[in-house]
């Protein structure tokens, strides 16, 4: 463990205070402005949030997965947009380099990702390749010392802010599936790369997605991740294994916050002469939510420890993502219900969270893709 237990607990306490005193009071402003205030971004940088998972030798905090998920629980108690801003540097926007990058690639890009000087973004999804990621059509054809990229990526988180992209593209168009895919680090200012207008979304205002368009975009061959063609799909899957645990922690933290809002409202709101928290049908909704949050938290911690031991957590990460993302949807739904008419009104945070958390069941693999990954792993293990 790079930092000792006491130092880590102190760090967690600092994060809790930051969430309480800086993030939650700014939630409405972020939703109204569709932007994270610059002073909050500066505070996130000085806290080290951009480099949570990047090894210390490249300027990050080098947290273990068990530590990372604990930090994410806390940050996720504020609007998901805050986490989203730095989390691609912690997860999908840096881990391709951390897991499979060459030493030169790590030295060139990780320190700037760890400090938050640049934002890293992960470009897998395309207009015609969502759940079926291996069918992606963006090409990267070798031409001397360069690869020439052509194609479009869609719904790319933090694309408007990003300084570098991890881009999955087909280096061998004769191979239709995963085998022909390679991963590249593409710098924002590379000629031929255009970022589209930010998408209009259901929720998570303050967090941005956009298309990325590649038109004869020439990327130096040194930016092929790991220096080996044909490994890009596997890199993406390894990145997503970790990402799915991270998102599960985010779902659990958000659910805790949403439930605390519902409990506070149920204790204060009186009907039939007493606080609605005293009615058993309301208690059932509170109790079911508490139970499911406890289950998700336990699952995430267990899977994170397993990853820290170096074990394969592909199945467990999908179990966590499936359960935690569906769970936060149920908790948000019950919280709106407990609030009654007030829960449908924009002045209560549960209305915003209800929309914000809907995304968790979709990105980094839909619930149906998690089911498929879980069942495939079960079958593979049974056969081996």
Q: What is the DSSP letter of 145?
A: T
Decide: 107 and 54 in contact? Cβ < 8 Å. Answer: no
Q: What is the DSSP letter of 177?
A: S
Contacts of 240 (CB under 8 A, 6+ apart): 92, 317, 364, 365
Decide: 167 and 138 in contact? Cβ < 8 Å. Answer: yes
Decide: 212 and 156 in contact? Cβ < 8 Å. Answer: yes
Nearer to ligand COS by Cβ, of 337 and 371: the residue is 371
The tokens describing 337, both together, are 């219900």
At closest approach, how far in Å is the CB of 318 from ligand COS?
Answer: 9
Nearer to ligand COS by Cβ, of 159 and 259: the residue is 159
| Residue of 8, 50, 109, 233 that binds ligand COS (CB under 6 A) | 233
| DSSP track, 261-296 | HHHHHHHH-EETTEEGGGSHHHHHHHHHHHHHHHHH
Which residues between 156 and 215 bind ligand COS (CB under 6 A)?
178
Q: Could you list the beta-strand ranges (E) of the chain.
A: 120-123, 139-143, 146-157, 164-170, 181-187, 193-195, 209-220, 270-271, 274-275
Instruction: Work out whether 99 is an interface residue with ligand COS (CB under 6 A).
Output: no
At closest approach, how far in Å is the CB of 201 from ligand COS?
Answer: 14
Which residues between 237 and 276 bind ligand COS (CB under 6 A)?
237-238, 240-241
At closest approach, how far in Å is the CB of 53 from ligand COS?
Answer: 16
At closest approach, how far in Å is the CB of 263 from ligand COS?
Answer: 32
Stretch that binds ligand COS, among 94-102, 126-134, 144-152, 338-346 (CB under 6 A): 126-134
Stretch that binds ligand COS, among 40-48, 131-139, 195-203, 251-259 (CB under 6 A): 131-139
At closest approach, how far in Å is the CB of 224 from ligand COS?
Answer: 18
Letters for 299-328 (x = contact with ligand COS by CB under 6 A, - = none) are: ---------------x--------------
Instruction: Work out whether 234 is an interface residue with ligand COS (CB under 6 A).
Output: yes
68 is catalytic: no
Q: What is the DSSP letter of 198?
A: P
Task: Go through the chain and tell me how many residues it has.
Answer: 384
Instruction: Please list the residues that pair with 184 across neighbouring strands.
Output: 167, 224
At closest approach, how far in Å is the CB of 157 from ligand COS?
Answer: 7
Instruction: Work out whether 363 is an interface residue with ligand COS (CB under 6 A).
Output: yes
Q: Which residues are catalytic?
A: 364
Q: Which positions touch ligand COS (CB under 6 A)?
A: 92, 122, 124-125, 131, 133-134, 178, 233-234, 237-238, 240-241, 314, 363-365, 369, 372-373
């Amino acid at each position: 463990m790079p930092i000792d237990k006491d130092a880590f607990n102190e760090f967690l306490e600092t994060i809790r205070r930051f969430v309480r005193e800086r993030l939650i009071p700014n939630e409405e402003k972020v939703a109204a402005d569709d932007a994270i205030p610059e002073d909050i971004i500066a505070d996130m940088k000085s806290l080290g949030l951009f480099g949570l998972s990047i090894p210390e030798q490249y300027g990050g905090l080098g947290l273990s997965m068990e530590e990372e998920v604990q930090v994410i629980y806390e940050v996720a108690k504020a609007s998901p947009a805050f986490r989203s801003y730095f989390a691609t540097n912690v997860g999908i926007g840096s881990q391709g380099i951390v897991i499979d990058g060459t030493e030169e690639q790590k030295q060139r890009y990780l320190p700037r990702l760890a400090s938050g000087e640049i934002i890293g973004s992960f470009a897998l999804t395309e207009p015609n390749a969502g759940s079926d990621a291996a069918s992606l059509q963006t090409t990267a054809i070798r031409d001397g010392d360069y690869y020439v990229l052509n194609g479009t990526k869609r719904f790319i988180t933090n694309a408007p802010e990003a300084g570098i992209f991890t881009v999955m593209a087909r280096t061998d168009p004769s191979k239709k599936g995963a085998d022909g895919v390679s991963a590249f680090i593409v710098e924002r200012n590379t000629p031929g790369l255009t970022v589209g207008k930010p998408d209009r979304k259901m929720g998570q205002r303050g967090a941005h997605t956009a298309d990325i368009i590649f038109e004869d975009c020439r990327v130096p061959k040194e930016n092929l991740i790991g220096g080996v063609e044909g490994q890009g799909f596997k890199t993406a899957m390894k990145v997503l294994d970790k990402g799915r645990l991270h998102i599960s922690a985010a779902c659990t933290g958000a659910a805790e916050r949403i439930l605390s809002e519902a409990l506070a409202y149920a204790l204060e709101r009186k009907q039939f002469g007493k606080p609605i928290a005293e009615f058993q049908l309301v208690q059932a909704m509170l109790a079911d939510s508490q139970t499911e949050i406890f289950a998700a938290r336990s699952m995430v911690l267990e899977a994170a420890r397993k990853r820290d031991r170096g074990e394969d957590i592909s199945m467990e990460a999908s179990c966590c993502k499936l359960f935690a993302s569906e769970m936060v949807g149920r908790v948000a739904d019950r919280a709106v219900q407990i609030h009654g008419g007030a829960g449908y009104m924009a002045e209560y945070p549960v209305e915003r969270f209800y929309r914000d958390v809907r995304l968790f069941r979709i990105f980094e693999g839909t619930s149906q893709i998690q089911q498929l990954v879980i069942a495939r792993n079960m079958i593979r293990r049974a056969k081996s």
